[in-house]
Structure 1
């Protein structure tokens, strides 16, 4: 069987069991060290808050890579000020960029005065009202990974009463969470939902180049000419579209394509193939920011482990 080009080996090459085992051990050692440093830092912070004494408090040993028993991570209220759009995002209403649009629309009041500047400074003591409803900073942070099925839209509310991804997780938490980024109605796969506005902003900002991998099924085999054109870049109505990696996921079936991309432009993967005359029959996001839908059935969800949350918050650009 013909081998895939070396730059596509990530989609086709499998590692030996021994190599996988060694990688697992190395990763386990790495995160064990990180956990120890993390809890030592927490202990130091606690001693500092208690005037230099250890308060006789001890933190229990953590469970390594296993999910934390409770899906909520506590965050103390900030004593300082922050931009109004950041405050709204931390209240679990939406992401920071969407919050800026809400502020500009004139539906936000601070201490009974309408404010239209997203950068307006507010503190936890201020009264902030959005669309007539008072909001509060979220103290309990929730992180949910959903394996989104088709026919669900990625929004918190739909005037047309269509099914939304929040319908699938309504039993998961009482906290108000929202999707990080978007998957269109006919796209399935990994979707993160949270009320952590700061993390949501980090994962959706273009400058951070968050990687996503998609499994694409086309209506006909992708020929060599179009394959090479996609690697060079395809000009769409909103500019040049580039992919990071392109590969035949199955060398015997060239309708099955693997695509790695960091662009967050709307429907970018579908539009790349459609511009060359292909119909995308199925589009599934298998990886987002290092998160996969492994062991999560379609339409089901799970809470992120403490390790996964830590990885997301300390990711490096392009990872």
Structure 2
């Protein structure tokens, strides 16, 4: 766990509690204590783990969050619409560096997504070499033909516009038009394109888990710090 040593106003601004210019006012309004002693000097250098605000410990220096993403929410900082970051506490939206999603889910896709301000972690988990398992519940427009699992498991399926075949994917049938699909890649619209390649269309897509992180205990729109 990080425990940086820097000015009080630097701690507060990097974690989104206030800007540096607002720090003096913040210290007057809120009881900011270091080792039990109230602090009013924004220049005072302290360790992150020693700071308490109104009897509550500071947010972590690096933050990673698991969210149950609702439909209609956009995984972007810049696009028009309801952005995923708007579902988080206001101060988390002001953190520096910014929180970013680890990969993306389409606007109409629901389920497990991670957000972090740890750039190294984000890069590691989105790298093509990461081999992170993602489990999806897929609802289809047409009943299954029966050969989809064999095709997906074979490791020979080449998506339109691609040159290399996909890695093997596991499919479990839930009903004639609902399946669980486990993939370890993250190509653009991969699940939708996989079913398009076998003559079907995805009508609803829900990510049940990302790696070891499942949202089974999170309601739609809820999140938790990892």
What is the TM-score when the length of structure 1 is the normalising length?
0.49
CA contact (8 A) 1:143 1:195 kept: yes
Q: Displacement, 1:75?
A: 4.4
Question: 1:154-303 counterparts in 2 under 5 A?
Answer: 154-158=75-79, 161-171=80-90, 173=92, 174-175=94-95, 176-232=98-154, 233-236=156-159, 237-239=161-163, 240-248=165-173, 250=174, 253-303=175-225
What is the TM-score when the length of structure 2 is the normalising length?
0.68
CA contact (8 A) 1:211 1:288 kept: yes
Q: Displacement, 1:169?
A: 1.2
CA contact (8 A) 2:149 2:170 kept: no
Higher strand residue share? 2
Q: Displacement, 1:144?
A: 1.1
CA contact (8 A) 1:74 1:140 kept: yes
The CA RMSD over aligned residues, in Å, is: 2.1
Relative to structure 1, the CA distance from residue 229 to residue 280 in structure 2 (aligned partners, 3 Å threshold; closer, same or farther) is same
Q: Displacement, 1:143?
A: 1.4
CA contact (8 A) 1:145 1:301 kept: yes
Q: List gaps (5 residues or longer) in structure 2.
A: 6-13, 16-59
Higher helix residue share? 1
Q: How many residues align?
A: 168
What per-residue deviation string (whole Å, max 9, x for no partner) do you get for residues 98-120 of structure 1?
xxxxxxxxxxxxxxxxxxxxxxx
CA contact (8 A) 1:203 1:289 kept: no
Q: Give me the whole-angstrom Cα distance separating, in 1, the residues matched to 2:109 and 2:86.
A: 17
What per-residue deviation string (whole Å, max 9, x for no partner) do you get for residues 197-254 of structure 1?
1111111111121111111111122122333222223221213223331111x2xx22
In the alignment, which residue of structure 1 is the partner of 2:65?
Answer: 144
What per-residue deviation string (whole Å, max 9, x for no partner) do you get for residues 173-200 of structure 1?
2423111111111111111111111111
